[in-house]
Amino acid sequence: MRIVTPITLSNNQSQPTPANFQQLIQTTIQYPNGVRFWSPTDGWLYAWLENISNGTATIWVKIPSFIPANGTYQLYMIQDSTLPMDGVYWGEAPQLSPTYGEYDNGNEIFPYYQRFGGLSSLPPNWSSVSGTGLTFASTYIEIEANQTTDGWYGIYLNPIPSSLASTTTVWEFYGNIYNTAQTNNYAGTMQTSVFNANYGYTFAGGYNPDIIHFVNANNQFYSTNYADTNNNKIYTMQMSSATSLQMLVNYTQIYSTTSATPVTLSYFQFGTSNGLPNYGIANPIYVYWLRTRAYPPNGVMPTASFGASQYSGELITVTVP
């Protein structure tokens, strides 16, 4: 069985999307292995299945052309029961495959993409701070403070690709920065500036009480009043402008400020902190994969409208390879 569904992406903002834009599409699919996307403008499109939850698939599609301001972009979702997942034009998050990473094509979709499962050492351009404990597991890396002295520990990416040293890049990772086994301490951090705990933006959890915090360039804490749990989730840090920072968990905003200190992204850090004697021993941070994507116009993702699906045996009004 073959199903062809037209999709119209509508950019309702006064500025275009950048080229090679990562478009979010959420929909039900009947044949999870046999999905492909095709555009009359750009041909076959790379796509990556993030997950399927409650019957709805979360998919990221790379759009090579920009979507004009107040304009549209046409593409088609093709489902074919006879097609296998190829890991090229249709792939999936590494933990979804029967063999870890078998069909992961994240490098084709996202400007920077790194999976951390199955490693025996840190990837290229990643380094660890002295005193950091690292556990390389089959699907994730565990990062923890391996000493009881006060300080910051973790791993960091340096240099980051020059094309990503922009305040409009979205940084996201799938994992967990909280562990219920211990409380009253820092958990994990994402820092996006020079490698210094007192300068930059930090994602921290497990700090008394057990909530997520924002740390600004002056090392001032701002509570988001977000109660975290042990379940894996997607953490997002994005700068919409040089002075506006948003943090999200599972795509839900938990913090926003318009008075952030401007930064030039030079490091990207995952880490923990041992704040003895003030904060106890830090929880570990678990990272499965890290990706970047383009910031949508004014922070608003173009909407996806689905037309009527046509099935094999019916008259197909568009010719798709």
Among the ranges given (166-175, 181-190, 291-300), the one the predictor scored with the smallest mean pLDDT: 181-190
Which pLDDT tens digit goes with each residue over 146-159? 776 766 778 888 87
Write the class of the CATH domain 114-296. Answer: mainly beta
234 φ, ψ (degrees, to nearest 5): -100, 125
Which pLDDT tens digit goes with each residue over 260-309? 554 556 667 777 766 544 444 456 788 999 999 999 998 899 999 999 99
Same CATH fold, 114-296 and 2-111+299-311? no
DSSP calls for 139-207: S-EEEEE-SSSSEEEEEEE-SPPGGG-STTEEEEEEEE---TT--SS---EEE-SSS-TTSS-EEEEEE
Return the pLDDT at 141: 94
Q: Is residue 107 within a helix (H) or strand (E), and if so which, with residue range? A: helix 106-109
Mean pLDDT of 118-127: 95
CATH of domain 2-111+299-311: 2.60.40
**Which pLDDT band holds residue 176 (cuts at 50, 70, 90)?**
confident
Among the ranges given (128-142, 199-213, 233-247), the one the predictor scored with the smallest mean pLDDT: 199-213
**Domain ranges for the chain:** 2-111+299-311, 114-296
Return the pLDDT at 313: 57
- pLDDT higher than 70, residue 180: no
| Residue matched to tokens 């959890």 | 205
Q: Is the pTM of this model over 0.85?
A: yes
Which residues are CB-neighbours of 220 under 8 A, at least 6 positions away?
none
Number of helices (H) and strands (E), helices first, in the chain?
Answer: 1, 25
